Amino acid sequence: MTHTGQTAAQPAAADASGQGLNARIVVERGSFRLDVALAAAPGDVVALLGPNGAGKTTALRALAGLVPLSGGHLRLDGAVLDRTPPESRPVGVVFQDYLLFPHLTALDNVAFGPRCRGASKAQARAVAAGWLERMGLADHAGVKPRRLSGGQAQRVALARALATGPRLLLLDEPLAALDARTRLEVRAGLRRHLAEFEAVAVLVTHDPLDAMVLADRLVVVEHGRVVQEGTPSDIARHPRTDYIARLVGLNLYRGVAEGHSVRLDAGPAVTTDEALYGPVFVAFPPGAVTLYRERPAGSSARNLWRCEVVGLETHGDRIRADLTGELPLAADLTTVAAAELGLQPGATVWATVKAGQTHAYPA
């Protein structure tokens, strides 16, 4: 609450003064080991993105103090919180299904935090009313949670988490409980509130769109470890694992570059614009792939592979062909093109990609 917009505008990563979040979360549970390092400056919104079971929610619960750390450390604004119980951490949590107290009104749900942190009943209610007002829910103050819509419940949950003035806001799959249309609207609202929030926000999601719209920085977690982190655009352009490549819709291969030619681990070589040496990733969008029924004669594309159609599915007004063969890849083409090619599972096709449409970057 005391921080101004200036601090909020500072760039990523915890600064030397110790402001913000600096954590290494290690949680061991049976054979599963979570080991995730997180650093964020006040004003940052960090998204933990990963498949189900990657350990994202466990990381969030560890940050909240609901799961004890097996190792690592947790510092927030310079204070060590490793062993601090959840009720003493300056942390607010928006749970996946909100967990609004069903027996309390929206106002009393939001007032709960301030009341627990020592405010008088009247003060707590005044603070809560202010937050509901900010969320556009002043009319719903006296309503019990079961009578709120999904979007309204989400905003009450956000107000409840923010009402204690946390220095770390945690959101667990904040949009997962909403239907598609509400989601769009709530996502926009949440983005605005997160932008206004002056401390660190960490959200967990398995939805890349949520992550990219809401967060300044993504931390991709798979099997309990960070596999990649960076800005949304960086991650969308330079995926480093199959999971991320699928999320952002790219064909991704590992290989060894020698200048403009990359010998892929999958077999064939790919010609790229970039001249690199050593281990690299090569990525290209499915839309950059052109398919031919016969081997194209005199084609300028050097990246030419013989493939077999495994499956077809519609993607909006386009068709995504799943191919195997010399190089397994996904290709997008129009419905007309698919019909002209007579594509069907089992059909043999030739796939080409122009060097200018592939993108290589160091592994």
Partner 1 sequence: MTRSGTSDAAAAPLTGGPRRGRVRGPGVPLPLLLPALAGLAFLLLPLVALLVRAPWRALPVQLTSTEVWQALQLSLVSATAATGVSLVLGVPLAWLLARTDFPGRGLVRALVTLPLVLPPVVGGVALLLALGRNGVVGRGLDAWFGITLPFTTAGVVVAEAFVAMPFLVISVEGTLRAADRRYEEAAATLGASRFTAFRRVTLPLVAPGVAAGAVLAWARALGEFGATITFAGNFPGRTQTMPLAVYLALQNDPEAAIALSLVLLAVSIAVLAGLRDRWMTAS
Give contact residues for partner 1 (rule: CB under 8 A). Answer: 64-66, 85-89, 91-93, 95, 99, 101-103, 112-113, 116-117, 160-161, 164
- Cα separation of 41 and 197, whole Å? 12
In whole angstroms, the minimum distance from the beta carbon of 203 to partner 1 comes to: 15
Element (H, E) at 338: helix 335-341
Q: Indicate the residue among 64 and 203 with the shorter CB distance to partner 1.
A: 64
Structure tokens at 183: 């989601």
What's the distance, CA 36 to chain centroid?
Answer: 15
Between the CA of residue 344 and those of 96, 122, 327, what are the distances in Å? Answer: 41, 69, 18
Choose between 132 and 161: whose C-beta lies nearer to partner 1.
161
- Report, in angstroms and rounded to the nearest whole number, the Rg of the chain calculated over CA atoms: 24
Distance CA 241, CA 256 (A): 16
CB of 356 to partner 1, least distance (A): 51
Residue whose CB is less far from partner 1, 118 or 342: 118
- As measured in angstroms, the least distance from the Cβ of 120 to partner 1 is 15
Selection from 168, 175, 173, 215 nearest residue 191 by Cα: 215
Q: Which is nearer to partner 1, 88 or 324 (CB)?
A: 88
The encoded tokens of residue 256 equal: 């060894």
Supply the minimum distance, in Å, between the C-beta of residue 129 and partner 1: 17
- Smaller CB separation from partner 1, 113 or 255: 113
For residue 101, the minimal CB distance to partner 1 (Å) is 6
Closest approach, Cβ 234 to partner 1, in A, equals: 32
Strand runs labelled E in 149-302: 168-172, 200-205, 217-222, 225-230, 251-264, 269-284, 289-292
CB nearer partner 1, residue 116 or residue 339 = 116
In a 13 Å sphere around the CA of 360, the CA atoms on its Cβ side amount to 26
C-alpha distance from residue 146 to each of 105, 247, 296, 299, 333 (Å)? 10, 34, 63, 63, 46
Give the C-alpha separation, 227 to 235, whole Å: 11
Select 93 or 186, whichever has its Cβ closest to partner 1: 93
CB of 77 to partner 1, least distance (A): 17
